[in-house]
A and B are shown apart, each in its own frame.
Chain A
Amino acid sequence: MSQIQQVHWELEMDYIGHPYYVSGNAILSSLVHEMPENTCRHLTASHGMFVPGQFGTFPDEHSQNGFRPYLGSGLPTVESYDDLFLMRNPSQMWLLDSRPREALNTHDIRTQSGQPAIAHDIIMGRPDDASKRHQTTKWYIHAYLSADRDDILPLDNSWLDGLQFGGKRNYGYGHTRLKATQLVDIEALDYSRLENATEHLLVLVTPFVISSTYPDAMSRGIPWWWDVTRDTVREREERLVKQGDVYRLQTVDHGQVVRYDGNRPVETAQNGIFRVGSHSKYGFGEFRVIPIDHQTEVTQERKTSVSARSN
């Protein structure tokens, strides 16, 4: 049960749904129609992150390096812990500076049936010259599945292909195609960056649920191994829809960074992959452990500091 199955879906139609991510709940709700129910109930799903199908370069902490065409439209091999998170930060730091990265990484918004929808592609170049000079970039959804039994993963590709996410599915919105999938053994990854550091930070990749109106869900405080108090974190309300009923979740909002106050970073990191807190089965409570490496910050700043000549 130390395996996860990464899945990369290509968005074929505009998507009317949660704009931060496709929730793990939405992924499991779609999957249950494609596979045996008694197998599906053993699954957990991460939230699906939106990734532009663009060229990129691997970041310094990745086990691979260099330029890769269409980095965002596939699943690079995963060898180290940091590799898992390449596409799970919305700012997609691997995008090339030689391209208009902000335009390629923000969602175009189209109004569909009176609702704002996230476009399934990005068309660069103005309409009047579109015929000869435009470029189209497709959007992908990056997620991973895990299971509480050893004989569940990998899922049959036919179950993963053709899933639909978000609203107005009867009209074809949110339709996807399976682009790539691979198994990753969490126990076999290289965790040396975490082991070699004495201090660590935690990045909340998805919201952490503090309380939920779902029956029997546990209310939880901030974990003791986060060096923060509740009055210093940003909260946001989320919703969970089960069998047509809507439940309200109070969460610590994703994207925040807290200092790690524990002393078992590798074990904590592995727990973060499988997620912590209520509704972790549906994608909530994912986090990444980052070693505090002052050298890393210096490297990043060296890359981004502007030279005197660029006016």
Chain B
Amino acid sequence: MGEHSTDCSKPASQEELLAAYRHDAHKFTGNAHEFASEALDGILVNQSVPHGADGDAAALSRPSGEPTQTVTTHETPYRLSLLDGTSRYDPATFSRPILEEAINKLLTTTDADAMHRAWLSTTVASGFNESSYYPYTSLKYHTLLVAALYALYQEGHEFEDIKIVVDTAETIIPHRTIYSGEEFALRLDTTARGRPAARLGSRPWRSWSSVWSRLESHPLQTDSNRDEMLLDANLRRICSWSTALQYIEDFRRWVNQ
């Protein structure tokens, strides 16, 4: 858990929030953090995020300690899909320059709320993993989790105060919403505002299936819709947060095809 203290209780500044969204720029290139560039087009990137928000978000999605290469045939920054086992950016056929412009745009936005919306809707960052050791994790959702945790810690909240809240699709709360789809949105927050919610627990761990199973209500038609039941059944089997959030996005796209 983060080493944040409760004496900081002011909202995060624009610059601090922007830095949180830019903290893993090096993962788009597969460089280790210690060898990563500190600037991109004159903007600072790869800066560490205060209050331990990055470590806590990582603990929600991948194992502790010395990492292990879990898929030995895939040691790249590109994410593998739980749906079909493939990478959207197959390194054998994919041309990097096409991607770099989109990545730069995602990192160099200068308005924090616009940056949050850009990450919620990006399909570029969902093509990358948060660690090449764990290629089914998602850089997109890891980053959104880091930003939400950071913003909450900066306002003086502790991890144990935080809940996952199910919102309507129209409800996007800046630096709180961690998933946005056509049917519903999910946020991390300390107040549910009358919406279905579940506490994350006392400390961060790979608790997705546990927390999802404890939600007061599910935003899926699980009484009769076979596709939604399949999605729910698999969400109850996934422990990693960024993997699960990315799976919802992928599943929706697959159903709508």
Report A's interface with B, CB cutoff 8 A: 18-20, 90-93, 97-103, 105-109, 115-116, 118, 123-126, 129, 133, 232-234, 236-237, 253-257, 297, 300-301, 303-308, 310-311
**Size of the chain B interface, CB-CB below 8 angstroms:** 61
Interface of B is mostly: loop
Q: A92-B237, A303-B205 are in contact. List 17 more A-B contacts (CB 8 A).
A: A19-B230, A97-B70, A99-B70, A101-B70, A102-B82, A106-B237, A107-B234, A108-B84, A116-B226, A233-B216, A234-B216, A255-B236, A303-B64, A304-B63, A306-B55, A306-B62, A310-B64
Assuming the contacts A19-B226, A310-B58, asked whether A103 and B82 have C-beta atoms less than 8 A apart, the reply is yes
Which residue of B206, B217, B233 is within 8 Å of A304 (Cβ)? B206
Q: Report the minimal beta-carbon distance from B188 to chain A, rounded to whole angstroms.
A: 18
Q: For the complex, what is the distance from the CA of A22 to the CA of B125, rounded to whole Å?
A: 37
Pairwise interchain contact B73-A126, C-beta atoms closer than 8 A: yes
Pairwise interchain contact A234-B218, C-beta atoms closer than 8 A: yes
Report B's interface with A, CB cutoff 8 A: 1, 32-33, 55, 58-59, 62-68, 70-74, 80, 82-86, 131, 133-136, 201-206, 209-210, 212-218, 222-224, 226-227, 229-230, 232-234, 236-240, 243, 247
Which residue of B59, B66, B202, B214 is within 8 Å of A255 (Cβ)? B214
Interface of A is mostly: loop
Pairwise interchain contact B58-A126, C-beta atoms closer than 8 A: no
Shortest Cβ distance from B207 into A: residue: A304
Pairwise interchain contact B65-A311, C-beta atoms closer than 8 A: no
Pairwise interchain contact A91-B215, C-beta atoms closer than 8 A: no
Pairwise interchain contact B227-A91, C-beta atoms closer than 8 A: no
Pairwise interchain contact B223-A304, C-beta atoms closer than 8 A: no
Shortest Cβ distance from B210 into A: residue: A91
Pairwise interchain contact B73-A129, C-beta atoms closer than 8 A: yes
Assuming the contacts A256-B214, A304-B64, asked whether A90 and B202 have C-beta atoms less than 8 A apart, the reply is no
Which residue of B217, B229, B237 is within 8 Å of A105 (Cβ)? B237
Pairwise interchain contact B238-A91, C-beta atoms closer than 8 A: yes
Show 6 A/B contacts (Cβ-Cβ < 8 Å), sorted by A: A18-B229, A106-B234, A106-B247, A297-B201, A305-B59, A306-B58
